[in-house]
Amino acid sequence: MPDPSSPAAPGTRAVDRAALLVATVVHADEPLSFADLQETSGLAKSTPSRMLTALERAGLLERDPSGSYVAGRLFWSYAARHDPWAELVRLARPTMEAIGEWTHETVNLSVIRGDRVVQVAQVDSRFMLGTRDWTAVDVPAHCSSLGKVFYAYDVLSIPPGPLERRTAVTLTDAEELRVEAKRIRGRGWASTTDELEVGLSGVAVPVGRSGTEVIAALGISGPTPRLGSRLDELGHYLLDQSAQLSTLLRGRTVKEGVA
């Protein structure tokens, strides 16, 4: 971590201070409040808060629901592209492409990083309507079918709420989300209809290396008019595909790259 007592080169003092704030947050074992950050970093109390605002705006830092500072979206985006999940993506790619070939819809693979869902691979929709790169989009877990999979199988803890409302039908109550999680475990797949944005639906299933270990979620998303009446069909189809992928993963070890 940078030493705040070290002399700064002319014109770099503000950059050094900003780098120190980022490094302090990244190396911390837990989110840091504004007061904690000042104390831990060793910076004077006169450090302007606008520096933290600029770091948030750039995606280097962000604040959790309590207002404390954590690593920003740029770190998560980088980790999604340069981490041990590369082997998982390699193994899942043929399955994802087969799903895309059959459905013509967008196919995504997601994992958990900390308390957020990170989409690590995508097969694009064959349709013009519905084509978007979701790997760079930060989606609230309770609004997505992929996120609901992780809630249902206890990979993510259901937050106490209230949850962010994106549309009129978004689940914003923690108890409602628990009921939904139980329903998902019972049928094996999760779905959303107009919960992230009006006109968008999704369906997703767990991917695991054993009967209880869920390491990823595999899903399809697309316009509600195309998917809305097919969610049951697509859910069962994804379960079959996920079972085959999970069988493949059971033959891999952490040493081979699938954590």
Q: Which of 30, 52, 71 is the last residue of a domain?
A: 71
Which of 71, 94, 113 marks a domain boundary?
A: 71
Query: Per the domain annotation, does 145 fall within a domain?
Result: yes
5 is a domain residue: no
- For residue 193, being part of any structural domain is answered with yes
Domain assignment present for 4 = no
Q: Are residues 245 and 172 located together in one domain of the fold?
A: yes
Q: What is the pLDDT of residue 205?
A: 97
Residue 31 and residue 84 in one domain: no
Same domain, 23 and 60: yes
The pLDDT of residue 6: 53
pLDDT for position 125 = 86
For 157, other C-beta atoms within 10 Å of its C-beta total: 9
Beta-bridge mates of residue 200:
223
DSSP for residue 32: B
What is the CATH classification number for the domain harbouring 38? 1.10.10.10
Whether omega before 162 lies within 30 degrees of 0, making that bond cis, reads yes
Which domain, by its residues, includes 40? 13-71
99 and 131 housed in the same domain: yes
Answer with the one of 71, 86, 101 that is the final residue of a domain.
71
Q: 83 and 56 in one domain?
A: no
Residue-wise pLDDT tens for the chain (259 aa)? 555 555 555 568 888 888 988 988 888 878 888 888 888 777 777 666 888 889 999 989 988 878 888 888 787 666 656 666 777 888 899 999 999 999 999 999 999 887 888 888 999 888 766 656 677 677 889 999 999 999 999 999 998 878 999 999 999 999 999 999 999 999 999 999 999 999 999 999 999 865 568 999 999 999 999 998 999 999 999 999 999 998 887 765 433 444 4
Euclidean distance between CA atoms 36 and 166, whole angstroms: 32
Q: Return the pLDDT at 217.
A: 96
Residues 39 and 133 in one domain: no
136 and 34 both lie in a single domain? no
Same domain, 22 and 131: no
Place of tokens 């999680």: 181
Contact 192, 148 (CB under 8 A): yes
Q: Say how far apart CA 22 and CA 55 lie, in whole Å.
A: 8
Measured N-to-C along each axis, helices 231-249 and 86-103 cross at an angle, to the nearest 10 degrees, of 150
Q: Judge if 26 and 115 occupy the same domain.
A: no
3-state class (DSSP) for residue 191:
strand
How many domains, in total, are found in the chain? 2
